[in-house]
Amino acid sequence: MPQCLTCKSNYEPFISFGKMPIANGFLTPDQFDDEYFFEMKVGFCANCKMVQLANQPDRERMFHQNYAFFSSTSSRMALHFKEFADSIKQKYLPSADAFVVEIGSNDGIMLQNFAEKGIAHLGIEPSANVAKVAIQKGIKTTSEFFDEELAGKIVVDHGKADAILAANVMCHIPCLHSVAAGVKILLKPEGVLAFEDPYLGDIIEKTSYDQIYDEHAFYFSLESVSHLFEQYGLEVVDTIHQNVHGGSMRYVIAHKGKKEISPEVQKLREKEKRFGLQSPKTFELLCENIKISRDKLLAVLTDLKSQGKRIVGYAATSKSTTVTNYCGITPDLVEFISDTTPIKQGKFSPGVHIPVKPYEEFCSNYPDYALLFGWNHAEEIMANEQEFVKSGGKWIVYVPEVGIVDKV
């Protein structure tokens, strides 16, 4: 039985997705034979309420100098991070001589909003290629993994932080105790940690099982986050639901007793209880719903293909790796995946090896159907792709329901 990564209790995984490759491991044919796979199982720890991967590849396999995810490819996310930065400045950084640290700062999409205002900042970004893009934009970045040791070094070199920010990265770090201990050291007495990640409640409600992949070691709820940080004298003082990445939660955390606790925290705590986020039964049901979703999607694709229709994948997201591998979606069902990220183009998708082609190939010869792997950006994508629909094209979606649509 696996041991909980945060409280060490034993738990039984509630689902296995079978063998999975590295979600962002887009590859060339000469790499097919050596492709790395691991068994992707997910479990719920009844003791500390943490939902987590039972095993995860080594971090260096996922985050390195060829990391394929560049945050700034989405204009919607650029706007989201500007709003995130503005709200932190307004609420928590009254003086201009503040120091802000971001964990997992990627290509600088969030920190650019502090840099351009002359606010002292430091990005922590282990994937060297994306860190380089941030540095070229003038954003101070160090290419390292954040942990307790690094937090101590930052304090010595730069002093303590007024705000520590993190988006879509806390859930990536298996050694969360080291992160929490690092936050405790690095944060000024009145400082805040504000981080957001895909929210477990949304994953369950929408059966968005494609949020589950190698990089996401954890699927957080308020309960599991509180349980962890309380062990370090830190507490959740606010929670704000975010309508990005299919539903995320922003947690604001401070040293215990230092900030007033928003009523939103208690409201969310009660909502999680009503919704059964701490009940093993909820995860049994999730497992059933995931299997139903997989079977329906495969049936739709197989049926369209038997009618001779052309299907192309839209956006070679990390999430698409879970869907394609779990459902068995191979190049005989999906001709290619269209993507605008140069590092992915000309390569093949992890595991099932669907070719990834430049976006121009999608536009120059529209398929009958586009399988929307980037469903979390559906509004932005569909608004941009009206010509595809005018040409008679339709979208295949699978979150929250499997279906064929021409708009959201």
* Site for ligand SAM, rule CB under 6 A: 63, 67, 69, 71, 77, 103-104, 106, 109, 124-127, 130, 145-146, 167-169, 172-173
CB of 177 to ligand SAM, least distance (A): 13
CB of 62 to ligand SAM, least distance (A): 7
CB of 302 to ligand SAM, least distance (A): 32
> Do the Cβ atoms of 217 and 52 come closer than 8 Å?
yes
Query: Which CB atom, from 62 or from 396, has the smaller least distance to ligand SAM?
Result: 62
Q: What is the CA 82 to chain-centroid distance, rounded?
A: 18
Query: Which CB atom, from 214 or from 272, has the smaller least distance to ligand SAM?
Result: 214
Dihedral angle, C-alpha 167, 172, 176, 179, nearest 10 °: -50
> Do the Cβ atoms of 192 and 240 come closer than 8 Å?
no
Query: Which CB atom, from 209 or from 362, has the smaller least distance to ligand SAM?
Result: 209
CB of 354 to ligand SAM, least distance (A): 21
> Do the Cβ atoms of 301 and 334 come closer than 8 Å?
yes
Query: Which CB atom, from 69 or from 336, has the smaller least distance to ligand SAM?
Result: 69
CB of 386 to ligand SAM, least distance (A): 27
Side chain identity, residue 347: K
CB of 159 to ligand SAM, least distance (A): 20
> Do the Cβ atoms of 211 and 247 come closer than 8 Å?
no
CB of 67 to ligand SAM, least distance (A): 5
What φ, ψ does residue 297 adopt, rounded to 5°?
-65, -45
Q: In what order do the strands lie in the sheet with 369-372?
A: 356-358, 337-339, 311-314, 369-372, 394-397, 403-405
Query: Which CB atom, from 172 or from 206, has the smaller least distance to ligand SAM?
Result: 172
Query: Which CB atom, from 172 or from 294, has the smaller least distance to ligand SAM?
Result: 172
Query: Which CB atom, from 125 or from 339, has the smaller least distance to ligand SAM?
Result: 125
Neighbours of 358 (CB within 10 A): 17
Q: How far apart are alpha carbons 351 and 27 in whole angstroms? A: 9
CB of 170 to ligand SAM, least distance (A): 9
Query: Which CB atom, from 63 or from 366, has the smaller least distance to ligand SAM?
Result: 63
CB of 371 to ligand SAM, least distance (A): 22
3-state secondary structure of 43: strand
Closest-by-Cβ residue to ligand SAM is: 104
CB of 109 to ligand SAM, least distance (A): 6
Side chain identity, residue 124: I
* Closest alpha carbon to 349 in 369, 329, 367: 329
Dihedral angle, C-alpha 394, 21, 401, 81, nearest 10 °: -80
Question: Quick one: 342 exposed, middle or buried, by C-beta within 10 A (0-12, 13-18, 19+)?
Answer: exposed
Task: Determine which helix (DSSP H) or strand (DSSP E) holds 219, and give its type and residue range.
Answer: strand 218-219
Q: What's the token pair of residue 317?
A: 């997201």
Query: Which CB atom, from 77 or from 115, has the smaller least distance to ligand SAM?
Result: 77
Query: Which CB atom, from 181 or from 333, has the smaller least distance to ligand SAM?
Result: 181
**Beta-bridge partners for 250:** 196, 240
Task: Determine which helix (DSSP H) or strand (DSSP E) holds 386, and give its type and residue range.
Answer: helix 386-390
Q: How far apart are alpha carbons 349 and 76 in whole angstroms? A: 24
